[in-house]
Amino acid sequence: IGLSIGNNPWLWLVTSLCVSGVCGPGMSLWSEEVDEVELYIPTKAILRSDAGWVKEHFKDDLRYESIIVTAPNVLQPDVLRA
Span between the terminal Cα atoms of the chain, in Å: 80
Three-state DSSP at 2 gives helix
**Most confident by average pLDDT, 5-19, 24-38, 54-68:** 5-19
- On the CB side of 60, how many CA atoms lie within 13 Å of its CA? 4
CA neighbor of 60 nearest in space, from 33, 35, 32: 35
Report yes or no on whether pTM surpasses 0.75.
Answer: no
Average pLDDT over residues 4-24: 94
- 48 neighbors 41 (Cβ within 8 angstroms): yes
Instruction: Please tell me the predicted confidence (pLDDT) of residue 19.
Output: 95
pLDDT digits (tens, 9 = 90+) for 16-53: 999 999 999 988 888 898 888 889 989 888 988 888 88
